[in-house]
């Protein structure tokens, strides 16, 4: 068909499945196993539906102000979007407009190459070392921009801020995006480097540590200049991105800092306990600082385990791709969910060996 010559063809990103089966244990998309802050439920119950007649604030001002205060930056340094996927896609479109390839790790968030393809951005991947770490020297070659998550996904490896700065200082002429979707589970943010680098964009999300994946809220922080360019593109694309409830409920979640720290603290302590127990069962994994563990078993193929877990109504993530096909990415759930997982694995491993 002739019209097909004019179609923008892309191979889409495959998101983790969202089944809704009774009794299932869902450890496949790194959601938070705990509810959002109590004030969020209260505010949701009081939501004024009449207000939905009107378009929401296109600048998400109330949410931006709360975030600016929380992160000690100016409101003009913050940009929000419909999940960090929206922010990242717009950032690719805005900042990666050169002819040289952008650089990112070979094992990383598998949406990066999809956005590069979608926005027709040349890209080159830089192999992680044998311990799944980024090699900063790889980012010294001429390029059109740099992006990497810290901690990385699906490995969970956290790079030191020295490594982050090494990459930044070698790339002052392009935009460097640090995707901090998982920074709240034990890492320290690169935000303090904003004072020194006006080409740094730090992206974060409400989907993991703030337990609001269903609300779709993401944001980024950078120099006023970077944020200004992002806004120019956003307002040329879709002015009203964050809906009214997302703006109001998101701001409420940020206000309850004690709850935020109790939730992330619980997830971190569960993660550390599960690491010990998985090791005893013959699993090995990079030392994750995220809310998931990227584990492989010494004897049992990951694909086989994935299928067995699925049959037991326990969903984890598996990719049949080079370098990562021997591991399962297991989201850290509640202690109870992880105990069910561990009981299943103990039994399965003992029978399989
Ligand atoms: N970055 C990374 C590294 C992720 O793993 C995810 C979650 N899939 C995202 C960004 C996007 O998260 P969200 O759109 O829910 O904010």
Whether ligand 1 lies within 6 angstroms of the CB of 109 is answered as yes
Q: Is the pLDDT of residue 353 over 80?
A: no
What is the model's pLDDT at position 267? 98
- How far apart are alpha carbons 296 and 289 in whole angstroms? 17
What is the torsion angle, in degrees rounded to the nearest 10, for the CA atoms of residue 98, residue 99, residue 103 and residue 106?
140
Residue 77 banded pLDDT, cuts 50, 70, 90: very high
Whether ligand 1 lies within 6 angstroms of the CB of 154 is answered as no
What is the model's pLDDT at position 102? 98
Whether ligand 1 lies within 6 angstroms of the CB of 180 is answered as no
Whether ligand 1 lies within 6 angstroms of the CB of 207 is answered as yes
- How far apart are alpha carbons 37 and 256 in whole angstroms? 7
- How far apart are alpha carbons 283 and 277 in whole angstroms? 9
Q: Which of 84, 180, 187, 213 to mutate to test the pocket of ligand 1 (most atoms within 8 A of CB)?
A: 84
Cα-to-centroid distance, 110 and ligand 1 (Å): 10
Where do runs of H (alpha helix) occur along 28-184? 38-45, 61-71, 83-95, 112-118, 161-169
- Please write the tens of the pLDDT for every residue from 4-43: 999 999 999 988 889 888 999 999 999 999 999 999 999 9
Residue 95 banded pLDDT, cuts 50, 70, 90: very high
The residue whose CA is least distant from atom 6 of ligand 1 is: 181
Whether ligand 1 lies within 6 angstroms of the CB of 331 is answered as no
Whether ligand 1 lies within 6 angstroms of the CB of 153 is answered as yes
Residue 216 Ramachandran class (φ > 0 left, ψ -120 to 50 alpha, else beta): left
Give kind and range of the element (H or E) at residue 126. strand 123-126
Find where tokens 């990719």 sit: 319
Lookup: tokens for 83: 């999940």
Quickly count: other Cβ atoms within 10 Å of residue 215's Cβ. Answer: 22
Cα-to-centroid distance, 84 and ligand 1 (Å): 6
Cα-to-centroid distance, 315 and ligand 1 (Å): 18
Whether ligand 1 lies within 6 angstroms of the CB of 83 is answered as yes
Whether ligand 1 lies within 6 angstroms of the CB of 59 is answered as no
Coil vs helix vs strand at 113: helix
The residue whose CA is least distant from atom 8 of ligand 1 is: 29
Cα-to-centroid distance, 138 and ligand 1 (Å): 24
316: Cβ contacts below 8 Å, ≥ 6 apart: 27, 28, 306, 309, 328, 329, 330, 331
Average pLDDT of the chain is 97
Question: Which of 154, 207, 205 minimizes the C-alpha distance to 18?
Answer: 207
Atom of ligand 1 nearest to the CA of 88: 10
Q: Which of 85, 86, 156, 177 to mutate to test the pocket of ligand 1 (most atoms within 8 A of CB)?
A: 85
- How far apart are alpha carbons 19 and 322 in whole angstroms? 26
Atom of ligand 1 nearest to the CA of 149: 3
22: Cβ contacts below 8 Å, ≥ 6 apart: none
How does 32-59 read in b/e, with b if 16+ C-beta sit within 10 Å? Answer: bbeebbeebeebeeeeeeeeeeeebeeb
- Please write the tens of the pLDDT for every residue from 105-145: 999 999 999 999 999 999 999 999 999 999 999 999 999 99
What phi and psi, each to the nearest 5 degrees, are found at residue 111? -85, -20
Whether ligand 1 lies within 6 angstroms of the CB of 203 is answered as no
Cα-to-centroid distance, 85 and ligand 1 (Å): 6
Lookup: tokens for 123: 């890209």
Q: Which of 154, 182, 184, 205 to mutate to test the pocket of ligand 1 (most atoms within 8 A of CB)?
A: 205
- Please write the tens of the pLDDT for every residue from 226-280: 999 999 999 999 999 999 999 999 999 999 999 999 999 999 999 999 999 999 9
Average pLDDT over residues 83-109: 98
Whether ligand 1 lies within 6 angstroms of the CB of 31 is answered as no
């Amino acid at each position: 068909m002739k019209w097909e010559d004019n179609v923008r063809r892309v191979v889409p990103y495959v998101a983790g499945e969202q089944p809704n089966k009774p009794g299932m244990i869902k450890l496949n998309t790194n959601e938070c196993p705990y509810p959002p802050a109590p004030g969020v439920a209260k505010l949701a119950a009081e939501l004024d539906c009449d207000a939905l007649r009107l378009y929401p604030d296109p600048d998400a001002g109330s949410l931006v102000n709360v975030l600016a205060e929380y992160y000690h930056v100016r409101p003009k340094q913050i940009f929000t979007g419909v999940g960090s996927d929206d922010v990242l896609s717009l950032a690719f479109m805005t900042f990666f407009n050169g002819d040289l390839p952008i650089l990112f790790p070979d094992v990383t968030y598998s949406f990066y190459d999809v956005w590069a393809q979608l926005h027709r951005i040349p890209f080159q991947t830089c192999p992680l070392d044998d311990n799944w770490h980024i090699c900063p020297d790889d980012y010294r070659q001429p390029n059109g921009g740099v992006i990497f998550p810290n901690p990385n996904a699906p490995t969970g490896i956290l790079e030191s801020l020295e490594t982050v700065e090494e990459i930044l200082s070698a790339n002052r002429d392009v935009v460097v995006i640090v995707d901090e979707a998982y920074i709240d589970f034990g890492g320290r943010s690169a935000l303090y480097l904003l004072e020194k680098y006006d080409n740094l964009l730090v992206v974060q999300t409400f989907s993991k540590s703030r337990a609001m994946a269903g609300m779709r809220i993401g944001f980024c922080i950078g120099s006023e200049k970077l944020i200004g360019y992002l806004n120019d593109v956003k307002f040329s694309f879709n002015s009203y991105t964050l809906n009214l409830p997302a703006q109001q409920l998101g701001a409420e979640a940020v206000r309850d800092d004690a709850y935020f720290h109790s939730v992330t603290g619980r997830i971190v302590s569960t993660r550390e306990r599960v690491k010990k127990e998985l090791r005893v069962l013959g699993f090995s994994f990079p030392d994750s600082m995220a809310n998931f563990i990227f584990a492989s078993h010494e004897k049992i193929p990951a694909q086989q385990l994935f299928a067995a877990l699925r049959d037991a109504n326990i969903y984890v993530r598996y990719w049949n791709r080079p370098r990562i096909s021997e591991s399962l990415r297991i989201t850290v759930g509640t202690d109870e969910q992880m105990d069910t997982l561990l009981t299943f694995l103990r039994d399965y491993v003992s029978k399989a060996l």
